[in-house]
């Protein structure tokens, strides 16, 4: 039984008259008569009893009438949701996130996307850079955020922004008196390094900058996440070089100062997604990322 047949049946069941039902359906009466006859033949039972004034429902017709409105409502809802999904208005997006990225920029990006697509469910997954790449290929996430993604032919990297760097110090350290700090100021100072990851990231950038400037790097601790890093700084275990957004972690006893370094001015934050992903939700999400990036560059 087709949707068209259900609509024709419903019109006749409610009007109880072929002429009025045909007018309601904007069709001629003979085709409607043939359609109802065909429907009765398909179902193998009479749905209407013809009377001088029109028609009356049979018992089988009444049973069908009890079901058809719900079926039409469900069909309409299915059509509407399918169209919304095709426009990226409903559904779900799985987002890979990481430590320091959730301190400022990523929450603002997600909030903007949610404001534009409030009916799209956002599912967050805390994953390392390598885990995000694997999850993308396994289709467990739709998009990921991290820094210094390696170039891969099957993945697209979208630069969100370049974030300035700061030095985190514990209160009472001699460098707290300075307005900005150079790497030479940190010569042989105990350093808390993060993230401890096999893929290139901030830790490798810091090490390369120390090497290029000929400054001794004294790694006291190497940790996986920014919170542990800043907590160790607060405990007086050493200093750290972190992104500007890390300064939102106002742990007691921690002071932040801008880093002045010709080789280490800022670091990239990017999002990554599959090159062959046709998802309308992903397309709208990437549009939000690109708009945010343009606004950031124009600051």
Q: Provide the greatest CA pair distance for the chain.
A: 104
pLDDT of residue 74: 85
* CATH code 3.30.420.40 for 3-86: no
Q: Which residues of the chain have pLDDT under 50?
A: none
CATH 3.40.190.10 residue spans of the chain: 91-160+278-297, 164-267
Instruction: Report how far residue 186's alpha carbon sits from residue 189's, in angstroms, rounded to the nearest whole number.
Output: 5
**Superfamily (CATH H level) for 91-160+278-297:** Periplasmic binding protein-like II (3.40.190.10)
Query: Which residue, chain included where needed, has tokens 């280490």?
Result: 264
Q: What CATH code would you report for 164-267?
A: 3.40.190.10
Report the pLDDT value the prediction gives residue 18, as an integer from 0 to 100. 92
Q: How far apart are CA 202 and CA 243, in angstroms?
A: 9
Residue 125, strand partner residues: 96
Q: Which token pair is 112?
A: 């903007």
pLDDT for the residue numbered 299: 66
Looking at residue 189, its pLDDT comes to: 96
Residues in CB range of 30: below 8 A, 6 or more apart: none
- For 233-292, the pLDDT digits (tens) are 999 999 999 998 888 888 999 999 999 999 898 989 999 999 999 999 999 999 999 999
Output the pTM of the full model: 0.71
Distance CA 167, CA 183 (A): 10
Bridge-partner residues for 241, per DSSP? 167
Residues of the chain with CATH 1.10.10.10: 3-86
């Amino acid at each position: 039984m087709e949707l068209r047949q259900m609509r024709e049946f419903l019109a006749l069941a409610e009007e109880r008259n072929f002429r009025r039902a045909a007018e309601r359906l904007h069709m001629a009466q003979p085709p409607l008569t043939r359609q109802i006859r065909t429907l009765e033949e398909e179902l193998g039972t009479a749905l209407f009893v013809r009377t001088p004034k029109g028609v009356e429902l049979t018992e089988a017709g009444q049973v069908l009438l009890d079901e058809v409105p719900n079926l039409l409502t469900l069909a309409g809802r299915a059509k509407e949701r399918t169209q919304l999904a095709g426009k990226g208005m409903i559904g779900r997006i799985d987002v890979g996130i990481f430590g320091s990225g959730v301190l400022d920029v990523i929450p603002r990006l997600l909030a903007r996307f949610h404001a534009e697509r409030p009916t799209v469910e956002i599912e967050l997954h805390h994953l390392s850079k390598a885990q995000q790449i694997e999850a993308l290929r396994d289709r467990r996430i739709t998009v990921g955020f991290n820094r210094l993604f390696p170039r891969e032919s099957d993945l697209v990297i979208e630069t969100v922004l370049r974030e300035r760097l700061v030095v985190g110090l514990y209160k009472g350290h001699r460098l707290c008196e300075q307005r900005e700090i150079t790497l030479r100021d940190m010569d042989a100072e105990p350093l808390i390094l993060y993230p401890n990851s096999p893929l290139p990231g901030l830790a490798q950038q810091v090490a390369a900058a120390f090497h290029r400037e000929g400054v001794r790097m004294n790694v006291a601790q190497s940790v996986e996440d920014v919170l542990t890093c800043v907590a160790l700084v607060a405990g007086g275990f050493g200093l750290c070089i972190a992104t500007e957004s890390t300064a939102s972690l106002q742990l007691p006893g921690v002071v932040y100062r801008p880093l002045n370094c010709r080789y280490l001015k800022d670091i990239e934050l990017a999002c990554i997604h599959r090159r062959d992903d046709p998802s309308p939700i992903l397309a709208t999400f990437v549009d939000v990322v690109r708009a945010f990036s343009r606004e950031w560059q124009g600051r």
